[in-house]
Amino acid sequence: MLHEANGVILIKSTHPGLQIRLLQVNDAERLLEIRRENFDFFKPFEPERPEIYFTLEEQARLISNGLEAAQAGQGYTFGLFLLENNKLIGRMELSGVARGPFQNANLGYFVDPAYHGQGYATSAVKDIVRYALNELELHRIQAGVMPRNTPSNRVMEKAGFRREGLALNYLKINGVWEDHVLYAVTAEDLQNGVF
């Protein structure tokens, strides 16, 4: 499921048309293209972003910071790539990695809307969670999804996440404090075949 090529972590996806690997700086142009082309689609689901966020330099800087975080074991930012042509179609991140008694990370992601409904997000969520629990030896992966984000709630459920409750005014999204449904999966879920 996992191997490294030229020092880059690769996760073999359970989706036959997908490959998952850590984002590299040379992926910044395509990542920016996805962000710009789908600005209106993503806006209701993301924090407000300054104009500089939508520049090639800033996307490259963020990817570089992500690689440093991965080397330090603090976070992992993966790209979702079509196997047939290596085209970047999405981003998935394990952030806020906590060790000690918590052994937890937060999961966040997006997929280019042109590739929605093809199972890429659900497969990638499962694959990255397995990587986090098995390879990174984390105990818990959690995610928060706005109740009105029906497709992402469906991905969490199809991927085997447990709904744990509703966090009121959890994150400031597009300038408004939004409630989020909290989901989680633990190592026990994987061991017991629930996930």
165 vs 75: CA distance, rounded Å = 25
- For tokens 């085209």, the residue is 87
Residue 177 region by backbone torsions, left for phi larger than 0, else alpha for psi between -120 and 50, else beta: beta
Q: Fill in the DSSP letter of residue 25.
A: G
Residue 42 or residue 13, greater confidence: 42
pLDDT at 121: 96
Residue 153 in 3-state DSSP?
helix
Strand 140-145 relative to strand 104-111, pairing: parallel
| 23-76 confidence digits (pLDDT tens) | 999 999 999 999 999 999 999 999 999 999 999 999 999 999 999 999 999 999
Confidence label for 1 from pLDDT (cuts 50, 70 and 90): very low
Whole-number Cα distances in Å, 25 to 29, 56, 132, 148, 173: 9, 10, 22, 33, 27
- What pLDDT does residue 57 have? 98
What span, in angstroms and rounded, lies between the C-alpha atoms of 110 and 45? 10
Question: Are 160 and 195 in contact, with CB atoms under 8 Å apart?
Answer: yes
Cβ contacts of 57 within 8 Å, gap of 6 or more? none
pTM beyond 0.75, yes or no: yes
Residue count of the chain, please give it. Answer: 195
The amino acid at 77 = T
What's the pLDDT score for residue 3? 45
Domain boundaries, the chain: 2-191
Name which of 5-9, 18-22, 143-147 the model is least confident about: 5-9
Q: What is the DSSP letter of 161?
A: P
Whole-angstrom distance, CA of residue 98 vs CA of residue 73: 9
Does 154 score more than 80 pLDDT?
yes
Per residue in 66-98, pLDDT (tens digit) is 999 999 999 999 999 999 999 999 999 999 999
C-alpha to C-alpha distance for 80 and 30, rounded to whole angstroms:
12
Distance separating the N- and C-terminal Cα atoms of the chain? 16
Q: Taking residues 99-117, what's their average pLDDT? A: 96
In CATH terms, 2-191 corresponds, of 3.90.1750.10, 2.102.10.10, 3.40.50.1950, 3.40.630.30, to 3.40.630.30
Q: What is the mean pLDDT of residues 139-158?
A: 97
